[in-house]
Amino acid sequence: MASNLNPFENAQQEIKRAVTRLGMHPAVYEILKQPMKVLTVVIPVQMDDGSIKVFTGYRAQHNNAPGPYKGGIRFHPDVTLDEVKALAMWMTFKCGVVGLPYGGGKGGVACNPKELSRGELERLSRGYIRAVAEVVGAEKDIPAPDVYTNPQIMAWMMDEFSQLKGYNEFGVITGKPLVVGGSAGRNEATARGCSIVVREAAKTLGFSLKGATVAVQGFGNAGSIVARLLHAEGCRIVAVVDSTGGAYNPAGMDPGRLSEHKVKTGSVKGYPGTKSVSSAELLTMECDILVPAALENQITASVASQVKAKIVAEAANGPTTPDGDRVLTQQGVFLIPDILASAGGVTVSYFEWVQNNMGYYWTEQEVNERLEAIMVKGFQEVLTMKKLGKDIDMRLAAYMVAVKRVADAMAVRGWLGNTTSQVAKMEVKPA
């Protein structure tokens, strides 16, 4: 992997830029450049044919100065310790940028869930949470769904953990089904958060979402729901791609019908009245808003030089490389960075945990109103930070807001020794 495609190194670069620009003590970077704790576990699982398969799992805990570690669990064949460490780091800043009382964590198991039976998946899920039980808990570290994990898996893990403890601990995990302490609105939350910040960005740039053209890369939980929500705001969804193909219609498409087509045929490709489009074509096509909602490292420098969108809203984690970032900035593209654009999911996870702690549950409307308030405030804080200097782009601004929050928490807790007062009182210097 080329160095600029290593998500862990990319995340470190962003932190370094933010710490330097904020004029902070280098100790802040030394603490934040790595996870505070990492656990590797071995999970033996009895397969349906009676054999034993041994899986490797991880939990990385990046920083817990602002509150318990928080972040999902990924089940994917390519899971590595480095990836989990980077994702844990991103979670600290995702929570920080919108001001949630959490630090960041992430877990993963190297496995292919598509090849596991339901029984095998349940045994693996229970085995994983038993193996990391010592380091997780409602006040310690709170996992959630991530790539290829879902509410059912969260329910098994919550159940296993509760059985170990001898009482129900719903708050140990979020993204659960509604009947066992899940929150209304959690499923849509990542996409809803993204569509809220897109609306704020359009307002900032002075254009209306009515009739604005949108291209979405990825049609999973985030991409398909972002398309639906932006369509409801009056946008024209002109192109979408998933891992099997794409659909393009300059007159716009109905995302609800597109989802039905995907359920029926397994792909968005071939949706009536559309032309086929590739992922590379989609990223560089004429449109007002581009939403990368798929994988890491999609917008490289050469792709970025051809991006025509006015707004790029990163619903995925890490879709733009650092080189791509620089080119987008030079071209005057308004970027809504991943740690902000994808913070809606963990925000409603936080609401779920709060509701579990209270034992009292909110309506979907209450959840959505609270999400809206947090996302708008986060967006405005990042924009204000950006305006402090012409060398501050939206990604750096987002990291500066987040790093400052985490560093302040570390400082008042005494983790920075006699640099404390310097960091806690620090103001951002205008350029």
Q: Residue 76: is it exposed, middle or buried by C-beta count within 10 angstroms (0-12/13-18/19+)?
A: middle
User: What letters, b where the CB count within 10 A reaches 16 and e where it falls short, cover 339-369?
Assistant: bbbbbbbbbbbbbbbebbeeeebbeeeebbe
Q: Of 100, 132, 144, 287, which lies in the binding site for ligand GLU, with binding defined by CB under 6 A?
A: 144
Contacts by residues 255-259 (CB-CB < 8 Å, ≥ 24 positions apart): 255/224, 255/227, 255/228, 255/231, 256/228, 258/219, 258/224, 258/227, 259/219, 259/224, 259/228
CB of 234 to ligand GLU, least distance (A): 27
Among the options 70, 85, 94, 106, which is catalytic?
106
In the annotation, is 53 catalytic?
no
Nearest to 404 by CA among 3, 23, 12: 23
CA distance 187 to 151: 9
In the complex, which residue's CB is closest to ligand GLU?
72
Q: Does 146 bind ligand GLU (CB under 6 A)?
A: yes
| Segment near ligand GLU (CB under 6 A); pick from 197-205, 343-351, 403-411, 422-430 | 343-351
Q: Does 355 bind ligand GLU (CB under 6 A)?
A: no
CB of 427 to ligand GLU, least distance (A): 30
Query: Between residues 146 and 325, which has the closer beta carbon with respect to ligand GLU?
Result: 146
CB of 29 to ligand GLU, least distance (A): 23
Q: Does 191 bind ligand GLU (CB under 6 A)?
A: no
Q: Does 72 bind ligand GLU (CB under 6 A)?
A: yes
Cβ neighbours, 10 Å, residue 310 = 18
Residues 94 to 113: which contact ligand GLU by CB under 6 A?
94
CA distance 234 to 211: 6
Query: Between residues 45 and 315, which has the closer beta carbon with respect to ligand GLU?
Result: 315
Cα 219-224-227 angle, rounded to 5 deg? 120
Structure tokens at 391: 């060398």
Q: Does 345 bind ligand GLU (CB under 6 A)?
A: yes
CA distance 301 to 370: 37
Q: Does 346 bind ligand GLU (CB under 6 A)?
A: yes
Q: Does 314 bind ligand GLU (CB under 6 A)?
A: no
Query: Between residues 171 and 246, which has the closer beta carbon with respect to ligand GLU?
Result: 171
Q: Does 292 bind ligand GLU (CB under 6 A)?
A: no
Active-site positions read 106
Residues in the site for ligand GLU, rule: CB under 6 A?
A: 70-72, 94, 144, 146, 174-175, 342, 345-346, 349
